[in-house]
Amino acid sequence: MAVALRDGFTYEGYSVHVARDGAAGLRMATEKSHDLVILDVMLPRLSGLDVCRQLRGAGNDTPIIMLTARGQEIDKVLGLKTGADDYVTKPFSFLELMARVEAVLRRASKTIDAVESAQFGDVEVNFKSFEATKGGRTIELSPREFKMLKHFVEHRGEVVTRDQLLDHVWGYEGLPLTRTVDMHIAKLRQKIEDTPSDPRHVITVHRVGYKFTG
Amino acid sequence: MAVALRDGFTYEGYSVHVARDGAAGLRMATEKSHDLVILDVMLPRLSGLDVCRQLRGAGNDTPIIMLTARGQEIDKVLGLKTGADDYVTKPFSFLELMARVEAVLRRASKTIDAVESAQFGDVEVNFKSFEATKGGRTIELSPREFKMLKHFVEHRGEVVTRDQLLDHVWGYEGLPLTRTVDMHIAKLRQKIEDTPSDPRHVITVHRVGYKFTG
DNA sequence: AAAGACTGGTAAAAAGTTGTAAACGGCCTG
DNA sequence: CAGGCCGTTTACAACTTTTTACCAGTCTTT
């Protein structure tokens, strides 16, 4: 069971640590910081409820998802009362657990929404409503273009490498195998520059990357 | 630094109190009620993180913006965990800080009012009595549709992702694993749009989500 | 000045999203 | 227990965005 979950989440790109029993899990969760903890209510040595309670008691507010057997209503209530963020009843599909995990992470990382809007030249962008205008006229930007532009705005004046863009805008890690970034730069220029062939905002820095100047 | 900020915000019409060190700031924030607190992580006598932690620990939920030095990722994470609402990395322009302040204030003030009713186009909705009319004629909305519409109304103009809808409209009550959200959008459009196939209120933003415009 | 490396632009292929119809199951009501 | 309603899931065609491919032009370095 734990092994299957580990493999599943690893495949999904998560980094996973599995503990053999409740005590080991508690130690693990205490010693290192994790984004999320999944606890089975029935665990050898120390029940999931106890682990949860102790973590919370120690001021640890890592999101916790509890796994309970079907119908154990008591567990469910107890689990939530004990401080778990969500629970999943067995049997469950991996997808279901996955969905919960992502939901909990989402809620937990109610992070800051960064820049809300920006303007430069005669262009105005609102990253919340996904609207953009140039000289008062609406321009249509694709999601990727919005994200790229946002990254640029958040790094005005700095040179941004293609690697960085791939990291932050695409979420890829590793090398740019293709010319995708360049492509999107070109498209972005078509839309926000007065003279795309002689850009004033998105400047090419040969052999390095691109620089945004507002 | 603090002086420049005070002058800036005063000029912008805010009333500002500056504290000499962390301890004084904490006292000030505890004794009088403020709309917003700006904390430098590095403060004499009591770090910004501590001030933040103590304020939150005392049940004070005044919005807090943290100032951190560039690259102090740790601070950023800690700050958020400690309960700050946003953070700004130094060096920053006054305008940037200003923008954050307004964003945080906006967010903070928004959480208070729960919408009771709304109207847009020829549609009127009362979220308290769960009644809705379009062009004077009653239209039947399911509970889920009411909830979804309410969320939209509370976020007019913003793009709302499916994830956000799942969080706020579905919550704990079981997470759909498939295209349920889209389905409900379609149904909602059937009921509130003049031309469901060419919607004016619930706009899809490809690859991002939906946007409600009143 | 020439070779090699890098970039811009275009078109077409590939991948991913969305709208809609249809079907299923749960639940309540009559 | 049949009929309806609601929410969910599935399927598929239509559509949008993203990626790839390729050539020509530009910049660096030798």
Contacts of A100 in chain B (CB under 8 A): 175
* Chain CA centroid to CA A24, Å: 28
Neighbours of B10 (CB within 10 A): 11
Closest chain B C-alpha to A39 CA, distance in angstroms = 18
| Residues whose C-beta lies under 7 Å from strand D | A 140, 142-145, 170, 177-180, 183-184, 206-207; B 140, 142-145, 170, 173-174, 176-180, 183-184, 206-207
Mean pLDDT, rounded, for B129-146: 90
β strands within A62-168, DSSP E:
64-69, 86-90, 117-120, 123-126, 131-134, 137-138, 159-161
Query: Strand C neighbours with CB under 7 A?
Result: A 179, 182-183, 185-186, 189-190, 196-197, 204, 206-209; B 162, 179, 182-183, 185-186, 189, 196-197, 204, 206-209
In contact, A162 and A122? CB cutoff 8 Å: no
Nucleotides of D under 7 A from a protein CB: 5-11, 16-22, 27-28
pLDDT of B205 > 90? The answer is yes
pLDDT at B183 over 90: yes
Which nucleotide has its C1' atom closest to residue A143's CA? Answer: D17
For B25-81, the pLDDT digits (tens) are: 888 888 888 889 998 877 777 777 788 878 876 767 788 888 876 544 444 445 455
**Per-residue pLDDT, B146:** 92
Q: What is the pLDDT of residue A201?
A: 92
Residue B76: the pLDDT is: 45
How does DSSP assign A158-205, residue by residue? SEEEHHHHIIIII---S---SSHHHHHHHHHHHHH-SSTTS-SSEEEE
Which uninterrupted H or E stretch holds A40?
A: strand A37-40
CA distance A128 to chain B (A): 5
pLDDT at B114: 63
pLDDT of B77-100, one tens digit each?
A: 454 556 677 776 666 667 667 767
Task: Say if CB A51 and CB A20 are below 8 A apart.
Answer: no
Query: By the 8 A CB rule, do B63 and B35 touch?
Result: yes
Answer yes or no: is pLDDT of B174 > 50.
Answer: yes
Residues of chain B with Cβ-Cβ distance to A93 below 8 Å are 177
Predicted pLDDT at A211: 93
Amino acid identity, residue B3? V
User: What does the pLDDT read at residue B96?
Assistant: 65
pLDDT in tens, chain A (214 residues): 777 888 888 877 788 888 888 888 888 888 777 889 998 888 877 888 888 888 877 667 788 888 876 554 444 455 455 667 777 777 777 877 887 787 777 666 554 455 678 888 899 999 989 999 998 899 999 999 999 999 999 888 889 988 888 888 888 765 557 889 999 999 999 999 998 889 999 999 998 899 998 7
Question: What length is written for chain A?
Answer: 214
The most confident of A65-79, A172-186, B2-16, B144-158, by mean pLDDT: B144-158
